[in-house]
Amino acid sequence: MRSDVGARRTATHSRATLSVAVSWFLWGIGYYAYFAYLSPYMALFVRPQAISQVYLLAGLAAIAYPAAGLITYRRFGARASISAWMAVAGLAISLMGLADGFPQFALLLSLNQAFYAALPSYYASLAAEEASYIPMVWALSVSPSLFMPALGGLLASRLGFAALFALSGALVASSLVPVALASGLRAEEGSASARGWALAIPAMVPVALESPYVFLVLERAYSLSSAQLGLVASAGEAVGMIAALALSRARWGISAALAGFSLTALLPLSWAFGIAFGFWEAIIPLSIAFVSHISGRPGVKFYTYLATLQALTFLTGYAASAAVASIDYMSIPEFGGALAAALSAAYALLTASGGRGHHAEAASARAAGHHILRATRSSRRTPP
């Protein structure tokens, strides 16, 4: 009897985890279809220097979303919280093709940050299940990055940006369906203690700094079509995924990822160095590896804290991007690459000194790393 009950519980939990995996897969398809084209599209209607200001306002809004997600989790549960906020995030992107000015872009990108409110329940629901399922969920969630940027570029070149954003938004919103139907989905509230974020913040700043402009700079510097821009983005994502897997257990992992990202500083020499931006796929998870929960199993409260800190980190990068863009937005990849190179050396020294760096990276690779790996989608679902 007990074995039957245990088997049923295991099956229920497996289905719940699979539901999250399918949800993230749909989210990934929608996100990776449009992320390389958001800034070039905005530049059709607003001054390029103002694009980082749109991101900055969206970053300010993002800070409040994790706490809102915790409130809806407590009031309605994990399934309802995830479903409601992902619906808002998807709707905002689907309407992006109708925007034609700064106020609309700022409003819609701010609403798109609603995924930050869904993240705590997403992460906690995975933390509540068997750790053996986490690699499967991670693989499914990032696999669309290998082909969707290129397909998104083809769609934009054939049908226009409005169609691209409408389809992408619908796919992002559809990610709520598997979760809404997952009756066995559960998430614990847990505790909020965390440490190590001060070491994680610097590494992610170059990513946030470059993300509002790197694809716009590529497009304008080399007259790339939407389809060509998508191919560059897909190539970069492939490099980033390989780096994330290869460096997850490496002693010098975060330093190597930053060194790879620093090659964006050479973008004035060739469009091919734009591929180096894909190292953001490795930088984000390796940076988060420096953050650990102090005790107990992490739950919604811990991930609320983590998502809020990540939003603050990206806000820092967006502020830096706005400052540089006010002088020369075309130089942002060079500035971000130089900063990444300096940070690569700093993290190398930190690791060589035997400090927290290596311990945190190894600990995260063994345990918590995979189920927070898609916290990049906070940067990405902010773009990245």
Per-residue pLDDT of the chain (384 residues; tens, 9 = 90+): 544 444 444 454 567 777 888 898 999 999 999 999 999 999 999 999 999 999 999 999 999 999 999 999 999 988 899 999 999 999 999 999 999 999 999 999 999 999 999 988 888 787 665 544 555 566 667 889 889 999 999 999 999 999 999 999 999 999 999 988 877 676 676 666 666 677 777 889 999 999 999 999 999 999 999 999 999 999 999 999 888 888 877 778 889 999 999 999 999 999 999 999 999 988 888 887 666 555 456 678 888 888 898 899 999 999 999 999 999 999 999 999 999 999 999 888 877 765 444 444 434 433 334 444 444 444 444 445
Please give the pLDDT value at position 137: 65
Identify residue 268 by its one-letter amino acid code: P
- Check residue 336 and give its pLDDT: 93
Q: What is the reported pLDDT for 303?
A: 84
Can you read off the two tokens belonging to residue 117?
Answer: 């409110």
| DSSP code at position 130 | -
CATH number of the domain at 50, please.
1.20.1250.20
Indicate the SS3 state at residue 71. helix
User: What is the pLDDT at residue 202?
Assistant: 87
Nearest-10 Cα torsion for 153, 159, 162, 167? -70
Q: Which residues contact 47 (CB under 8 A, 6 or more apart)?
A: none
Q: How many domains does the chain have?
A: 1
Can you give the pTM of this predicted structure? 0.86
- Distance in angstroms (rounded) separating the CA atoms of residues 239 and 61: 31
Whole-angstrom distance, CA of residue 316 vs CA of residue 59: 9
Domain of residue 173, residue span: 2-380
Q: H-type helices in the chain, by residue range?
A: 2-34, 38-42, 48-62, 65-76, 78-94, 102-112, 115-127, 134-142, 148-159, 161-174, 176-180, 197-210, 214-222, 226-247, 253-261, 280-288, 300-328, 332-352, 356-366, 377-380
Predicted pLDDT of residue 210: 96
pLDDT of 269 reads: 96
